Amino acid sequence: MIITGKTLPFGTSVAGNGGTPVSGGDTLAKSQNGADISDKAKFRRNIGVDGLTLSGPALVYPGVTHEYTITGWSDFSAYDVSVSTGTASVKNGVITLLVPVDATGAITLTVTRNNVQYAFTLDVSPVFILPPQITSPTDGSTGVDFNATMTVSDFVCSREGADSYLKTQWEVSAGPGYYTDEEIALAEFNGELIQEYNVVAVRDSSGTTLALDIPVVVSDDSEEGVLNQLTSNWNIKYRPEDNRSYRVRRGATYRVRARHVGRSLVSGWSGYVTFTISDEPIVKPVIMLPANGETDVDAAAVIQASAFSLQHGAEDELSASEWQIATDADFTDVVWQKTGNDSTAAISGNTLKRSSIYYARMRYKGGKTGYSAYSDSVNFTTAPHFLPTKEIAMILQPDGAPDAHFNTPVFSRDGEWLFVGAPNAYDDSGSGSKSGVVYALKKNGQTWVLAQAITQTTARDWQQFGRGLAFATSSLFVSSMDGVYEYTLSGDNWVGSVVSEGYSSSPNSDKFSVSSDGNTVAFQVYVYSFGYIARVLTRRDGVWTPLSIQAPDKRLEFAHSMSVSSDGAVLAVGAKTSNDPRVKNAVYVYRFTDSGWVPEYTVREPETFKNSVFGEKVVISPDGLLLFAAGGEKYNAPDSFIYAWRFENGEWKESGRVSISAGGEYVGFKFARDMLICRQTNMEYIRDTGTHKVVSRAGFYSVNPDNGHLTLKASAETISFVSGVDSQITDGFALSDDGATLAMGVYDSTQGTNSNAVVIFTEGGAAE
């Protein structure tokens, strides 16, 4: 409500209802929203004996600053103001009043002029929604793209919980001269956050505006999110009476304002923001990754930009993409640049230094229209240590049969020892076919030297000692057909002791998991009367106690993969079938209690695939709060995923999935250094030689601890060759605790009889 008027001469009376207005001093009151101005509770004025009047709102809002103009202000008079609640000041005839956030009822504003006081009673709105502010684009901005991002401040209610967010209304209008009285501006928001909506035209007095109702959009992190970001194509157009449709003009100026709508109340409109659409034919790209200000960026990081797109009316095709990285924001010191033809670019090695700040930008080139504008630059800081993506060595199997499977590596906690299992190898005497050996290699600079070949005391055929390896604290744990063994370092040798004996299966590393303290060991066992079960050994006061978990669904191979948390309290178990398409694979979570292992959560495969890998690989995070499982189709890269769940408020909740884009057969993943490491192979047949080229990759994914979301940081890759597709394609890999060294088991038939090998990667890509 705005109160305006002229001063009254001293002693003049004011006419009541039906009376005649004061001659020469008409007083007008106008409601901005059409409310009944006879409602004296909302709209009030107070006229002093000496004719003092104010122009300003009679209804005020907690936490908001209001202004009042003193009509008849005179520089020859002395003014002062005070307020019963809040703060007030006066300058050059304008009173500024700040209402406290906890104000209720009414406020008395007292104006003193020449020692005469005049009191004004202002009603305080009991509940209100704070008018939003448009934060993007900024007022007066130019070169705004059709795919610009509009953002507003969050929904805020003056009294918490009194109202909740419903939607945001946007009003977009054209600048002078762009539309006639019969035309109306229309904004269609087609971004990824926006669902279907109904557009309702609301003309103002000039017929050039439209209020656009946007439906509620629920964010990933909240059941009722605030819609404060609209990604649009800026498909702004006007509709004349003949219903013709025209899109916004390049270089045209528009203005926008917004307001929040709650379940009960509506905020006031934000201020107007005026902006001008870019006149460039190619939309200015936006760098998506790395994010602006991101830290711990790896040397082998990938830069990703928004897709090549055109302003409306432009015709062109992508010809090239140009990328730059510099040490300064002005790009006077460019340290890396690349020309490609895609929206992504991998940073080449030996480009970036550790713990350094860099700036990245890119632009597109069209075949007809030339270059786009450069993207806004993003700055990022490289990690103090880069991920191991540089191949430095290949360790061949020291001895044994060609099919020894020298491919299951694990590091000691200090990274000084590398153990590699060769479960099909002969023992040192040449007897004991496939009895198995674990090779202990000691670090010596950038190389590894064989220090010991560990075997069981009595070697026998098909013992498969070393098929599963795990390291905890200062102990190496080894699985075999005869049981589980623990080895500790004594002098220069690793000396073993029996953890448990007498099992009829030899679980590999996926089916064999040890807690970080070494006091919980979980592995798969086959029992003729029950089928596959999970055997869990717990050590208390030096004594191992076994417990068994039977399969909830005997149609599935239970304990096909296992993972135990660092403290041994949470166990994830995968189960799958290979011969019954009617049965969905499953992942089970158990928690250790005084009653033993209690089932806590079961999830069946979310989707159906012909060669499903769901249940083949499961990983529980060290703290037991995040669960990951492989999913999708085994030999179809576009349908390969990692599913994630988070334990929150006493229950497991699905937190999404990430597509594995490296391609090929999905073969394994595990946690290391707060990252999820994914191992994959991809085979390509070479017709000329009759061999297969095998590309083995390890992708390093950072893990958001709050929601389990994964982000690919870098990848390591090695290439080997095999004469045929057989069981020799390996899945073993390990990362040292400090994240500086990666070991990956491979099979390469070009190496002769020693076809098994372990490839070593170290910190790569650093510019010295």
Sheet holding 141-144, edge to edge: 141-144, 273-277, 253-262, 165-174, 211-214
Residue 388: asked if its preceding bond is cis (omega within 30°), the reply is: no
Asked if 206 and 292 sit in the same domain, the reply is no
| Cα 4–Cα 130–Cα 84 angle in degrees, nearest 5 | 60
Question: Is the model's pLDDT at 522 over the cut of 90?
Answer: yes
Asked if 597 and 740 sit in the same domain, the reply is yes
Residue 622: asked if its preceding bond is cis (omega within 30°), the reply is: no
CA distances from 448 to 44, 416, 491, 741, 758 (A): 88, 9, 19, 12, 11
Residue 642 located in a structural domain: yes
- pLDDT band at 239, cuts 50/70/90? very low
Query: Above pLDDT 90, what percent of the chain?
Result: 25
Q: Tens digits of per-residue pLDDT, 387-402?
A: 888 888 888 887 655 5
- Per the confidence metrics, is the pTM higher than 0.75? no
Asked if 649 and 670 sit in the same domain, the reply is yes
Closest-CA residue to 346 (of 297, 277, 293)? 297
**CATH code for the domain in which residue 266 is found:** 2.60.40
Closest-CA residue to 183 (of 132, 129, 238, 221)? 238
Residue 456 located in a structural domain: yes
Q: Tens digits of per-residue pLDDT, 51-69?
A: 688 888 888 877 778 899 9
Q: What dihedral do alpha carbons 508, 510, 515, 519 form, nearest 10°?
A: -30
Residue 188 located in a structural domain: yes
Task: State the SS3 of 256-298.
Answer: EEEEEEECCCECCCCCCEEEEECCCCECCCCEEECCCCEEEEC
Mean pLDDT of 435-463: 82
Residue 39 located in a structural domain: no
Q: What dihedral do alpha carbons 326, 329, 330, 333 form, nearest 10°?
A: -30
Closest-CA residue to 239 (of 229, 230, 231, 248)? 248
Q: What is the DSSP string of 97-113?
A: EE--TT--SEEEEEEEE
Mean pLDDT of 39-44: 38
End-to-end CA distance of the chain: 68
Among 75, 105, 124, the domain-final residue is: 124
- Residue 737 burial class via C-beta count within 10 angstroms: exposed 0-12, middle 13-18, buried 19 and up: middle
Among 124, 159, 186, the domain-final residue is: 124
pLDDT at position 725: 54
Residue 637: phi and psi, rounded to 5, are -55, -45
Distance CA 581, CA 306 (A): 40
In this structure, of 127-131, 176-180, 681-685, 726-730, the range with the lowest mean pLDDT score is 176-180
pLDDT at position 271: 83
Q: What dihedral do alpha carbons 611, 614, 617, 622 form, nearest 10°?
A: 160
Asked if 181 and 102 sit in the same domain, the reply is no
Host domain of residue 327: 287-382
pLDDT at position 399: 64
pLDDT at position 23: 38
Q: What dihedral do alpha carbons 7, 8, 14, 20 form, nearest 10°?
A: -90
Mean pLDDT of 515-542: 89
Per-chain mean pLDDT for the chain? 75
In this structure, of 289-298, 335-344, 695-704, the range with the lowest mean pLDDT score is 695-704
Residue 154 located in a structural domain: yes
CA distances from 162 to 42, 123, 127, 223 (A): 21, 19, 7, 17
**CATH code for the domain in which residue 678 is found:** 2.130.10.10
Cα Rg of the chain (Å, integer): 36
* CB atoms closer than 10 angstroms to residue 142: 12
Show the beta-strand stretches assigned E in 127-164: 134-136, 141-144, 149-152
- pLDDT band at 378, cuts 50/70/90? very high
Question: What H or E segment, with its residue span, contains residue 359?
Answer: strand 357-366
Task: State the SS3 of 191-255.
Answer: CCCCCCCCCCCCCCCCCCCCEEEECCCCCCCCCCCCCCEEECCCCCEECCCCCCCEECCCCCEEE
Query: Using an 8 Å Cβ cutoff, are 89 and 95 in contact?
Result: yes
Question: Is the model's pLDDT at 105 over the cut of 70?
Answer: yes
Among 348, 382, 416, the domain-final residue is: 382
| Cα 634–Cα 635–Cα 639 angle in degrees, nearest 5 | 70
- Could you identify the residue written with the tokens 């790009």? 331
Asked if 521 and 409 sit in the same domain, the reply is yes
pLDDT at position 83: 95
Asked if 341 and 466 sit in the same domain, the reply is no
pLDDT at position 526: 83
Query: Using an 8 Å Cβ cutoff, are 760 and 448 in contact?
Result: yes
Query: Using an 8 Å Cβ cutoff, are 462 and 456 in contact?
Result: no
Asked if 56 and 120 sit in the same domain, the reply is yes
Residue 750: phi and psi, rounded to 5, are -75, -10
Q: Tens digits of per-residue pLDDT, 423-440?
A: 877 654 445 566 888 999
Distance CA 721, CA 696 (A): 11
> Which residues make Cβ contacts (< 8 Å) with residue 233, sequence separation at least 6?
146, 147, 188, 190, 191
Which residues face 385 on adjacent strands? none
Residue 20 located in a structural domain: no
**CATH code for the domain in which residue 50 is found:** 2.60.40.10
Closest-CA residue to 283 (of 330, 329, 237, 316)? 316
> Which residues make Cβ contacts (< 8 Å) with residue 14, sequence separation at least 6?
8, 22, 47
Q: Tens digits of per-residue pLDDT, 325-346?
A: 999 999 999 999 999 988 988 8
Q: Indicate the DSSP class of residue 169.
A: E
Mean pLDDT of 73-89: 92
Q: Tens digits of per-residue pLDDT, 534-591?
A: 999 999 998 999 999 999 988 888 988 899 999 999 999 999 886 666 788 899 999 9
Asked if 501 and 641 sit in the same domain, the reply is yes
> Which residues make Cβ contacts (< 8 Å) with residue 678, sequence separation at least 6?
642, 660, 662, 666, 668, 669, 698, 699, 701
Number of separate domains in the chain:
4
- pLDDT band at 220, cuts 50/70/90? very low
Closest-CA residue to 553 (of 522, 514, 582)? 582
What's at 628, amino acid-wise? F
Residue 222 located in a structural domain: no
SS3 719: strand
- pLDDT band at 242, cuts 50/70/90? very low
Asked if 208 and 250 sit in the same domain, the reply is yes
Residue 26 located in a structural domain: no
SS3 557: strand
Distance CA 357, CA 297 (A): 10
Asked if 452 and 588 sit in the same domain, the reply is yes
What's at 679, amino acid-wise? R
Asked if 120 and 180 sit in the same domain, the reply is no
Asked if 401 and 303 sit in the same domain, the reply is no
pLDDT at position 630: 84
Distance CA 642, CA 482 (A): 33
- pLDDT band at 477, cuts 50/70/90? very high
**Burial per residue of 586-612, b for 16 or more beta-carbon CB atoms within 10 angstroms, e otherwise:** bbbbbebeeeebeebbebebeeebeeb
pLDDT at position 224: 30
pLDDT at position 34: 37
- Residue 433 burial class via C-beta count within 10 angstroms: exposed 0-12, middle 13-18, buried 19 and up: middle
